Amino acid sequence: MTKLILVRHGESVWNKKNVFTGWVDVPLSSAGIVEAIKAGEQLANINFDIVFTSVQTRAIETTMLALAQNKSDKTPVVIHNEGKMKEWTSIYNEEMAKNIIPVYCNWQLNERYYGELQGKNKTETAKEFGDKQVHIWRRSYDIPPPNGESLKDTAERTIPFFEDTILPQLKAGKNILVSAHGNSLRSIVMFIEKLTKEEILGLEIPTGKPLFYYLKDGLLEKINN
């Protein structure tokens, strides 16, 4: 049974501080490290073939901490596609080259860009602009924060990437882990589960809690764990 696992990164230091993060590249908090390890323990028996993450540190950290718990003897290796990193990360041992889990980092999976809210405390922002306005920025489908992305904007980069890059690998029988962010994953879940614009607004994806799907007759179905 071909599996797709989606996992939101563990708690970041700015999640802990209740700050809008977006594309600011912050690491996991100590609690987030624990969450990533626990997520990996849940996934320990799955033999992953390919991993996709965003290019943001918190998602990559979560990937590596989770896969360190995996019972496969394969090594997760970040694949670089340009410059010296592409040339000088070549593996010259055939056995080891066959025994890796390729990890691809893709900006299309990055968190929603929060524009001028990035770095602002969420509670203080609500006091400044009002609870209702901040709720609209955070939870509406197509209204972006100042100079940022709406969920609709985010979906316009995540869903084509999912359709063009991830889905064909699933259909080829590859077990895939996607480590990304609350909003980038919400948009992908919206596509997979065919949720309406109204239904997606109420969906919250917790940090470090894997979502399980399997491919059946060319369609992805959710596994309730």
Q: What are the residue boundaries of the structural domains of the chain, listed by start?
A: 3-114+151-223
Nearest to 164 by CA among 213, 108, 225: 108
Amino acid 224: pLDDT: 81
The C-alpha atoms of residue 137 and residue 46 are separated, in whole angstroms, by 37
Q: How far is CA 63 from the centre of its chain?
A: 9
The C-alpha atoms of residue 124 and residue 89 are separated, in whole angstroms, by 45
How far is CA 146 from each of CA 20, 109, 117, 133, rounded to the nearest angstrom? 13, 21, 7, 11
Amino acid 217: pLDDT: 87
Q: Which of 11, 35, 111, 149 is catalytic?
A: 111
User: What pTM was estimated for this model as a whole?
Assistant: 0.96
The C-alpha atoms of residue 28 and residue 12 are separated, in whole angstroms, by 4
Amino acid 218: pLDDT: 87
Q: Which of 9, 61, 149, 181 is catalytic?
A: 9
Amino acid 225: pLDDT: 66
pLDDT tens, N- to C-terminus, the chain (225 residues): 899 999 999 999 999 999 999 999 999 999 999 999 999 999 999 999 999 999 999 999 999 999 999 999 999 999 999 999 999 999 999 999 999 999 999 999 999 999 999 999 999 999 999 999 999 999 899 999 999 999 999 999 999 999 999 999 999 999 999 999 999 999 999 999 999 999 998 899 999 999 999 998 889 999 986
How far is CA 134 from each of CA 12, 37, 45, 66, rounded to the nearest angstrom? 21, 33, 41, 33
The verdict on whether 9 is a catalytic residue reads: yes
Cβ–Cβ < 8 Å for 135, 167 = no
Strand partners, 179: 7, 53
The verdict on whether 80 is a catalytic residue reads: no
Q: Which amino acid is at 49?
A: D
What number does CATH give the domain 3-114+151-223? 3.40.50.1240
Residue 196 structure tokens = 């309406």
The C-alpha atoms of residue 111 and residue 123 are separated, in whole angstroms, by 20
